Structure 1
Amino acid sequence: MEVFPVNQYDPLMPGILMAIVAVVHVFLAQFAVGGGMLLCYFQWLAMTGRCPNARLFVHGYFKWLVLISFVAGAVTGVGIWFTAIQVSAPTIGEMIRNFHWIWATEYLFFLLEIFAGYLFYRYHRNISDAACLKLLGMYAFAAWMSLFLINGIISWQLTPGGWIDDHWIVAGFFNPTFWPSLFFRTIVALTLAGLVACIVVNTMTKLDQEEKRTLINYAAHLLVPMVLMPILGGWFMLAMPEDSRGWITGGSPAMTLFMNISVGASLAIGGYAFIGMFLQKLYINGATATLLLMLAFGATAGGEFVREGSRKPYSIRYWMYSNGIFPDEVAQMRKDGCLANDPYPLTEGTKVAGEITTRGAKVFRRQCAVCHTVVGINGVTDLTKTWDEEQMRMNFAKLQHTKPFMPPFAGTPEELESLVRYLKWVEHGDDSAAEAPLDEEALANIQKWLDAAGTEPTSGLHQRSDVVMKGHR
């Protein structure tokens, strides 16, 4: 059993911190993928004489692409790794352990993307149109291959597919949601590139409005594939596990809300782009294009929230819970405790009343801190404020039944009682009550509730319990 510390950022929820970095990076990275495709298209338009001003656009647009994807994209990419390791090192460890060669291959494509992009940026005015197209094609291909490879790993977290049975990397990579997710993300990438292109065109002071309209109409061609989004979204939902689909279709109000935000924003963008920009060939100014891009950011944020949240109670579906504990470890932790192999002290400055609340704070860090704060956003003390101690003991012991999107409590009755004492102490500050000797009757009741709840989650495991309980190592 490997134990990693979880850094707490109260009152900011660790998941929120991760989401902020991840959404920004995904938005920028998908723009970089679509930007390469758009540049190839516009370079071809210039070479074939279909749009004389396309060459001017390519030379100007690429500066934006470099600044956004090479600089901001790279910084937020490193930020994702740093933040993810702080928040959920076990998840990152499993991803690297199983897909290290794919990560390495993706890094090579990223280097190719940087190499081709730099050569174009440095020499595009000194080489032929054909050479420019080759460099842009190389850039676009490398960027899309990065998306291809990372998509396989990310979608594996939700639908590991046949990997669960034999750990065959191909089965995990080409999992049930791989293709719909890949096609959907590719269309999102084209959409973002097209919208940014509309903003850039409006900054080109050398062109009159009619010339700008022509470029915008060509950029709108990249938005047309959005008509396929409902089909791909339906395909993705059908490939999801049944209970995950249930979370986003009403089972979890938060996930349903974000799902509706994503769908609504996408419909607004798609409808305006297809009817107004493509069919009616409308000219849009920079403000309108920026508004559409902001809606696209909202759709991206909503979609990423749904993708992450729909895995609950897992971090890796059927394989690892969101708190980094493996399903086959729960039963043993019920006997030995979740702190038996936890060597990490509490961080300096953590307030406790004594030995019992110290143990409770460590239990919170081990089992709750990935998704919750003590006091703050999604704070447990606020969520349990109306529960008395007896209710808290029972609800924690039967956690996977109380909250089906949460994993089972993995610890001894003494650890659960320590957690209850710690949370009540944070709320009320009563040192004597928090550090009073443990009550044997309360411990017996906790054990009874733990036994009644069992060690399996109520969400999803019924489909894979024969596999995950065999052991993760």
Structure 2
Amino acid sequence: MDFPVFHLDFLGNRLLIAIIAITHVIMSHTMAVGGIPLITFLEWKSYKTKDPRWSKLAYKILFVFFLFTTSLGAMTGVGIWFSTSLVNPTAIGSLIRVFFWAWFVEWGAFVTEVVLILCYYLTWKKWDNDKDKLKHIKLGLYLSIASWITMVLIVAILAYMMDVGSWKGTHSFWHAVFNPVYLPQLAFRTTWGMFLAGGAALTVMAFLKDLDGEFYKMGRKSIAKWMLCWLPFVFLASCWYWSVVPILMRENVPAALTTQVFQHWYQGVLTYTFLGVGIIVLIAFMILNPKTTKYINRPAMIIPYAIGLVLIGQFERVREFIRKPYAIANYLYANTIREEDLPLLTNEGILKYANFARVRKITNENRIEAGREVFKIACTRCHTVSNIGINSIQDRLYSMFQDQPRDGEFKDNIEHYILNIHQARPYMPPFPGNKEEARVLAEYLAHLHKNREELLGDQVLGTKLIDN
């Protein structure tokens, strides 16, 4: 309420963040945190066996990883900051106040990582000799550590958003960092990144035409071994992570995995998820087996990473969704309302404290406009208005009330649903306004059935600070 409302009605704020964040996770996990250790391992193998072909393979994989991480990866890293600050500045502000020094250190680690990867890539050919090779491998090791440290710091914040632990009582920085979900999630992301780095490397190899046939088989066999070595750790970390996910969040998993409309597909989607992991493992084993390796051609080598990308997107969607109705667990609701402020707002109203709302007092003449402002403040972090937008409120209302006549009772039913929405759908925040605001919101939503419109954000309409 302290900020203007940014809103993309044709896309949806959640999808904007999801596109940027998932792209960044793919780059950072599989090509940096997992990819650089794999490349360093291949370079070490070249040094150990005195076979320069391993170094040549490692360099070709590094070229692709370097290209993606320093362009798309870096841009989406900044993009996460930009998009989340626009969509939910209250959440970002709260996190900065708690994790300021952690983010400061992470920025230093990121700059270090960028410098090291530039040095690692640019010195590869110059140091590719018996005298300097070991020094270059050590540089790869330092880069691997720097990449992982950025994950160590960021995962503390992501885990805190799922479970603040004892921080709420102590407000201690260290209690915030070492929350119950932190170490399990860090273990899962680390091992999963190492595992899928093999899939990314196999994908690169599928497009390399200048490797001789015998070494081509050796190279992909070595990468398959890398993947299978990490598999048990992925399994253990997954079990550990699942064991610390709060019970109420686990209950949201069916809707998170399949959307609320298709929750009855949950078991089927879960089965296909495990099947996808099984296919990745099967291909790795087939590459290792001399009798079956011939069946894994170049297109088939892309399959593990392709499935991995889908699983990463699925995991990030589930992690984001199960936090609901919170953005920060037990502290800040998804609609930017602090849990401790809810009693005040339900008593006095949300418009009174919305500094940039165009309507501060409800009159007979401005009820639709007031309802629009209430919707913008309380609902747009998750919903759109336009029927072409993601999670459109018009589509939701039509599916819920399609058989009802559009009369006064229709508005009464919407109002009743709004006031009891958290009980009906626990993953939605309680309505953060008083009864009069619930009524004007109901009138606005009823108005949308007869008057289709697109809701414009303050970035389009412009805004000004309105005094009380």
TM-score range, shorter chain: 0.7 to 0.9
1:5 aligned partner? 4
Instruction: Give how far 1:192 is off.
Output: 2.6
State the one-letter code of the partner of 1:265: G
Letter in 2 for 1:332: L
Which of 285, 289, 293 in structure 2 is aligned with 1:282? 293
SS in 1 for 2:354: coil
Q: Which aligned pairs between 1:304-383 and structure 2 lie closer than 5 A? A: 304-345=316-357, 355-375=366-386, 376-383=389-396
Map of 1:190 onto structure 2 = 194
**Which of 1 and 2 has higher RCO (CA within 8 Å, sep 6+)?**
2
Q: Which residue of 2 aligns with 1:398?
A: 420
Counterpart CA distance in 1 for 2:51 and 2:370 is: 69
Residue 451 of structure 1 corresponds to: none
How many residue pairs match? The answer is 423
Aligned partners of 2:109 and 2:150 also within 8 Å: yes
Unaligned runs of 5+ in 2: 402-409, 453-468
- Residue 277 of structure 2 is aligned to residue 266 of structure 1: yes
Does structure 2 retain, via aligned residues, the 8 Å contact 1:198–1:219? yes
| CA shift digits 1:401-420 (9 cap, x unpaired) | 12111111111211111111
- Percent identity for Structure 1 against Structure 2: 26
Distance 1:339 1:227, change over 3 A: same
Which piece of structure 1 moves more, 186-195 or 362-371?
186-195
What is the SS of the residue equivalent to 1:228?
Answer: helix
Q: In the alignment, is residue 81 of structure 1 matched against residue 81 of structure 2?
A: yes
Contact 2:331 2:340 in 1 (8 A): no
Distance apart, 1:260 and its partner CA: 5.5
Q: Which residue is equivalent to 2:218?
A: 214
- Secondary structure of 1:53's counterpart equals helix
Quick check: 202-211 or 190-199, which moved more?
A: 202-211
Which sits farther off after the overlay, 11-20 or 221-230?
A: 221-230
Shift of residue 4, structure 1, vs aligned partner: 2.2
Equivalent runs, 1:37-116 vs 2, <5 Å: 37-49=37-49, 51-116=51-116
Aligned partners of 1:129 and 1:196: how far apart in 2? 25
Residue 295 of structure 1 aligns to a residue in which SS? helix
Label 1:286 to 1:261 Cα distance change in 2 as closer, same or farther (>3 A): same
One-letter amino acid of the structure 2 residue matched with residue 67 of structure 1: L
SS in structure 2 at match of 1:315: strand
Range moving further from structure 2, 216-225 or 71-80: 216-225
Match of 1:175 among 173, 179, 189: 179
Aligned-partner Cα distance in 2 for 1:215–1:346: 63
Query: Is the CA contact (8 Å cut-off) linking 2:206 and 2:301 kept in structure 1?
Result: no
Instruction: Specify every segment of 5 or more residues in structure 1 that has no aligned partner in the other structure, as ranges.
Output: 348-352, 431-473
What is the CA distance between 1:139 and its match in structure 2? 0.9
Distance in 1 between the 2:146 and 2:101 partners? 17
Please tell me whether residue 29 in structure 1 is matched to residue 15 in structure 2.
no
Distance 2:78 2:253 in 1: 30
Whole-angstrom CA distance in 1 between matches of 2:272 and 2:113: 33
In structure 2, the CA distance between the partners of 1:176 and 1:46, relative to structure 1 (3 Å rule), is: same
Q: 8 Å contact 2:42–2:54 — kept in the other structure?
A: yes
- The amino acid that maps onto 1:268 is I
Q: Give, as a single letter, the amino acid of the residue that structure 2 aligns with 1:329.
A: D
Cα RMSD after superposing both structures: 2.3
Corresponding residue number in structure 2 for 1:459: none
CA contact (8 A) 1:374 1:423 kept: no
Cα distance in 2 for partners of 1:264, 1:172 equals 36
Which residue of structure 1 lines up, in the alignment, with residue 407 of structure 2? none
Which moved further from structure 2: 374-383 or 389-398?
374-383
Cα distance change of structure 1 residues 285 and 132 upon mapping to structure 2, 3 Å threshold: farther
- Residue 131 of structure 2 corresponds to residue 132 of structure 1: no
- Greater displacement, 374-383 / 29-38: 374-383
Q: Decide whether aligned partners of structure 1 residues 266 and 4 sit closer, same or farther in structure 2, where only a CA change above 3 A counts.
A: farther
1:244 to 249, 256, 274: 249
TM-score by length of 1: 0.84
Q: Offset of 1:79 from its aligned partner?
A: 1.2
What amino acid is the match of 1:290? I
Q: State the alpha-carbon separation in 2 of the partners of residues 147 and 164 from structure 1.
A: 24
Structure 1 residue 129: deviation in Å?
0.4
Question: C-alpha distance in 2, partners of 1:313/1:200?
Answer: 41
Following the alignment from structure 1 to structure 2, what is the Cα–Cα distance between the partners of residues 198 and 253? 30
Contact 2:383–2:391 (CA<8 Å) still a contact in 1? yes
1:413 matched to 2:412? The reply is no
CA shift in 2, pair 1:406/1:39, >3 Å: same
Normalising by structure 2, report the TM-score: 0.85
**Which deviates further from its counterpart, 299-308 or 47-56?**
47-56
The whole-number CA distance in structure 1 between the counterparts of 2:149 and 2:5 is: 33
Aligned to 2:209: 205
Instruction: Give the AA of the match of 2:380.
Output: A
CA separation in 2, counterparts of 1:195 and 1:51?
A: 23
Contact 1:261 1:298 in 2 (8 A): no
Cα 1:39/1:178, change in 2 over 3 Å: same
Q: Which whole-Å deviations, capped at 9, do the CAs of 1:230-259 have from their partners, x for residues lacking one?
A: 332222122011111122157975276476
Residue equivalent to 1:234:
239
**Deviation string, structure 1 residues 138-185 (Cα, Å, up to 9, x no partner):** 111100111111111111100111212212122221221212211211
- Decide whether the 8 Å contact of 1:263 with 1:299 is kept in 2: no
1:164-215, Cα deviation, whole Å (9 max, x unpaired): 2212122221221212211211122112321121122233333222211101
1:63-115: CA deviation from partner (whole Å, max 9, x where unpaired): 11211101110011111111111211111111111101111111111111111
